[in-house]
């Protein structure tokens, strides 16, 4: 391995750090907290919160405990669906590799959060089911009965 490869490996965020950061972001957005307000609560700048959420900077244990209290979830929440193997970490996109980690990846995106917030506001269960059927039809999938 040459110096360039070592540098690239060093600059790539750890998959678990990225996952934890994306879960922080997802929860922060769901509770309606800005990066600036979360940063203020932690005594940090919003840029530091951005780095945590991208996985660029690793979140220490005590800081993660603070974040869990502020966002109202147990620390374990941030690790749900975290990558377990190097093979998983190397996969990209929303690839369906037999488990539900790709769902958590999608839910952490802007589109995933917006879609879920809007979907939750649909009160009629039949209408919610029709929305799911519509999205599945657009995606070219058949739903199980």
How much is the pLDDT for 86? 46
What's the pLDDT at 108? 72
Predicted confidence at residue 49, as pLDDT, reads 96
* Chunked mean pLDDT (size 10), the chain, 145 residues: 60 87 91 94 96 94 97 94 59 48 71 86 92 89 70
pTM: 0.62
Contact between residue 19 and residue 52 where contact means Cβ atoms under 8 Å apart:
no
CATH class (in words) of the domain with range 3-108: mainly alpha
Q: Where are the domains of the chain?
A: 3-108
The whole-number pLDDT of residue 101 equals 58
Q: Residue 9: CB partners within 8 Å, gap ≥ 6?
A: none
């Amino acid at each position: 391995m040459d110096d360039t490869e070592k540098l690239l490996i060093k600059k790539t965020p750890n998959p678990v750090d990225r996952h934890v950061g994306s879960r922080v972001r997802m929860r922060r957005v769901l509770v309606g907290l800005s990066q600036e307000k979360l940063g203020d609560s932690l005594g940090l700048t919003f840029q530091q919160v951005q780095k945590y959420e991208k996985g660029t900077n690793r979140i220490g244990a005590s800081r993660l405990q603070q974040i869990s209290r502020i966002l109202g979830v147990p620390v374990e929440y941030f690790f749900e669906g975290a990558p377990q193997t190097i093979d998983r970490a190397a996969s990209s996109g929303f690839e369906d590799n037999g488990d539900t980690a790709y769902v958590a990846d999608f839910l952490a995106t802007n589109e995933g959060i917006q879609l879920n917030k809007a979907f939750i506001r649909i009160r009629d269960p039949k209408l919610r089911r029709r929305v799911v059927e519509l999205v599945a039809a657009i995606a070219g999938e058949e739903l199980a009965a």
